[in-house]
């Protein structure tokens, strides 16, 4: 993990963009170009957080060769390959962000994640998006919400649907699995919003909009 942000305890908000790497969007056995539909809304979120001078983090699948996960999923996003790289559309934001490399479907166990979360003492809001809606996104956001509950911290965790996608195939109906995943996340206390505009309305509702925000 590389930390290119200011002191983590200064942030009230953190945006996590999950697994928007080439191996899920542009190349490799698990890629689906339709996931790129989420990029325009992700760019809006990135500009919002940049404008507000709040935190931005990218989570990237980055597997060791022959890792245990490849007994469940085909080999993908091997560390050091182009599959494990952030897509070009989001690259301009990478240098001013935290980067977490994960070797499983849950970024909660990525190197540095828990340590950094413990440093963010003033965090009030987390916004999550990326791919896949029914795998790596809930496998991060649900345990993240549980973590805040465990230590009795009232941190609102949001999912932005328009900035989140999963793949579609004969064996994996996108709409069906998305509906299940969204229901599970809501049940876990995650606030699901459609887009940036609804997110900002919810921020006002919860008192998370401060002077100087858009």
Residues contacting 153, CB < 8 A, separation 6+: 123
- H/E run at residue 143: helix 136-150
Distance CA 7, CA 64 (A): 30
* DSSP label at residue 201: H
Q: Model pTM?
A: 0.95
Helix (H, G, I), strand (E, B) or coil at 212: coil
Secondary structure in 3-state letters for 45-64: HHHHHHHHCCEEEEEEECEC
Segments making up each domain of the chain, as ranges: 2-205
Task: Find out whether 86 and 42 touch, Cβ atoms under 8 Å.
Answer: no
Confidence of residue 209 (pLDDT cuts 50, 70, 90): confident
Helix (H, G, I), strand (E, B) or coil at 76: coil
213 has pLDDT over 80: no
CATH 3.40.50.850 for domain 2-205, yes or no, is: yes
Query: Of the candidates 101, 89, 117, 86, which has an alpha carbon nearest to the alpha carbon of residue 14?
Result: 117
Confidence of residue 5 (pLDDT cuts 50, 70, 90): low
pLDDT at 211: 53
Q: How far is CA 206 from CA 56, 98, 154, 155, in A?
A: 21, 26, 11, 11
Residue 13 in tokens: 């908000």
Residues contacting 183, CB < 8 A, separation 6+: none
Q: pLDDT, tens digit, for every residue of 130-153?
A: 999 999 999 999 999 999 999 999
The predicted model gives 107-117 an average pLDDT of: 96
Residue 86 in tokens: 């952030």
């Amino acid at each position: 993990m590389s930390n290119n942000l200011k002191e983590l305890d200064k942030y009230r908000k953190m945006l996590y963009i999950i697994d928007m790497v080439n191996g899920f969007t542009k190349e490799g056995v698990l890629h689906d170009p339709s996931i790129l539909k989420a990029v325009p809304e992700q760019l809006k979120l990135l500009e919002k957080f940049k404008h507000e001078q709040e935190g931005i983090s990218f989570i990237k699948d980055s597997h060791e060769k022959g890792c245990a996960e490849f007994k469940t999923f085909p080999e993908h996003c091997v560390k050091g390959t182009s599959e494990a790289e952030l897509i070009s559309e989001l690259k301009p934001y990478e240098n001013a962000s935290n980067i977490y490399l994960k070797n499983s479907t849950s970024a909660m166990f990525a190197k540095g994640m828990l340590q950094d979360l413990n440093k963010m003492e003033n965090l009030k809001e987390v916004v999550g998006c990326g791919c896949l809606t029914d795998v790596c996104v809930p496998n991060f956001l649900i345990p993240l919400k549980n973590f805040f509950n465990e230590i009795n911290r009232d941190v609102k965790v949001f999912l932005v649907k328009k900035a989140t996608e999963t793949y579609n195939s004969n064996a994996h109906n996108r709409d069906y699995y998305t509906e299940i995943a969204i229901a599970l996340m809501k049940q876990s206390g995650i606030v699901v919003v459609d887009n940036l505009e609804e997110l900002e309305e919810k921020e006002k509702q919860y008192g998370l909009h401060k002077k100087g925000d858009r």
